[in-house]
Amino acid sequence: MFTHNTAASENYVNMHRVRTTSLQIFSEDLKKCKTFMTKVNAVVKVPELIEQVKLATMAMQDARNFMCEGLLATALANPQAKESRDSIRFELGAISGGIVTESKILPQILEAARKLIG
């Protein structure tokens, strides 16, 4: 018989909250940086700053991919929990929406997640 694991539920909620908040803050900072670069670029060319923003953008995308893969793996560890299925649906939606790069997620994890959701 299935028993509800409250600690696991809270962990899933907290992981999503931390992920969303961290990425939103980082995304907002990148937007501010790009706006600043546009203004500064009118006066002086700043190639190092432009390169750093590109690297930061790539790092943010890598972080999104890594978090998605980790959340999928965690949810697959307890596939019977409603929160696990919700988490898998959410992450698969992020992949299909282009927020996460599908090719960067382990194919075995993607296959298991898609098979579980059906």
Residue whose token pair is 């929160």: 83
2, pLDDT greater than 50: no
What is the C-alpha separation between 8 and 74, in angstroms, rounded? Answer: 10
When pLDDT is cut at 50, 70 and 90, the band that residue 118 belongs to is confident
pLDDT in tens, 57-109: 888 889 899 999 999 999 999 888 888 899 999 999 999 999 899 999 999 99
pLDDT in tens, 25-37: 777 887 887 787 7
Q: Is the dihedral of CA 10, 11, 14, 16 positive or negative?
A: negative
CA dihedral 10, 15, 17, 18 (to 10 degrees): 130
